[in-house]
Amino acid sequence: MSRKEALNKLRDVLLTRREALKKALDGDLSMLQSLSQDGGDVMDAAMDTAQDEISSQLVEVESRELTQIEEALNRIRDGHYGDCEICDKPIPLARLQAVPYAISCIECARKQEKISPRMMGEHFS
Ligand SMILES: [Zn+2]
């Protein structure tokens, strides 16, 4: 698969995820739950603790992710998706596949992490 095809696929992932998050914020977690089988993330952890009721923590996580997804979708529209917003280098596909809304490369995310650890890259070791 070419990088372009991979990025197109990630766009679909982002659009689906955005739908699921919007529904979840409306109180319907079913779509998000069916999506979250693809690997553990912050959302799953929040889901486990929240179960059926939407805790304020979950809403916070969802809203934050939604904002990041909107930003990634904006970058797709501008044609910059997949490039680091800080150093302009292409973001490795492996990172985008793990975090489709990533808008900076790991190196830049790490630098930012030192400033605000909760902003991004928290599931990278
Ligand atoms: Zn960078």
For the stretch 78-100, pLDDT in tens is: 999 999 999 999 999 999 999 99
- Better pLDDT: 69 or 52: 69
Domains in the chain with CATH codes: 3-115 (1.20.120.910)
pLDDT at 37: 64
| Cα–ligand 1 centroid distance for 27 (angstroms) | 36
Q: Which residue has the tokens 């990630």?
A: 10
Reported pTM: 0.73
Share of the chain above pLDDT 90, in %: 59
How many angstroms is it from 91 CA to the middle of ligand 1? 7
Cα–Cα distances in angstroms (integers) from residue 12 to residues 19, 54, 76, 82, in the given order: 11, 26, 11, 14
Please give the Cα distance from 11 to 87 (Å, whole number).
22
**90, β-bridge pairs:** 83
pLDDT > 70? residue 43 = no
Instruction: Tell me, in angstroms, the distance from the centre of ligand 1 to residue 4's CA.
Output: 19
CA of 6 to the centre of ligand 1 (A): 19
The more confidently predicted of residues 24 and 112 is 24
Between the CA of 106 and the centroid of ligand 1 the distance, in Å, is 7
